[in-house]
Amino acid sequence: MDDHHKDFDAMIAHLFKTRDGKKVLQHWENRYIKAPVCIPSESDAQGYYREGQNSVIRAIFNAIKRQERGDYITGDDNE
């Protein structure tokens, strides 16, 4: 992973370490990650859309974890 990605992870971690940042993450986790992705009465496209929302939130959580733990691997598999 290059320094640009490490710097980005550090910025994300710094932003969401605040009290308000933690509240935002908790809200997003409840709203997006813990909510159903697919609902039988909705179209398949809605499920793909919801999974896209979840992937953004997971990327933020992963960036924070990588920065805190220093868990970087070579290549592009750090999302």
pLDDT digits (tens, 9 = 90+) for 18-68: 999 999 999 999 999 999 999 999 999 999 999 999 999 999 999 999 999
In a domain, 79, yes or no: no
In a domain, 76, yes or no: no
Run of H or E residues at 3: helix 3-16
Domain span at residue 32?
A: 3-69
pLDDT at 73 over 70: no
pTM > 0.85: no
Counted domains in the chain: 1
In a domain, 34, yes or no: yes
In a domain, 77, yes or no: no
Contact by Cβ (8 Å): 66, 7: no
In a domain, 56, yes or no: yes
| Residue pointed to by tokens 């609902």 | 39
Give the pLDDT band of residue 74 (cuts 50, 70, 90): low
In a domain, 74, yes or no: no
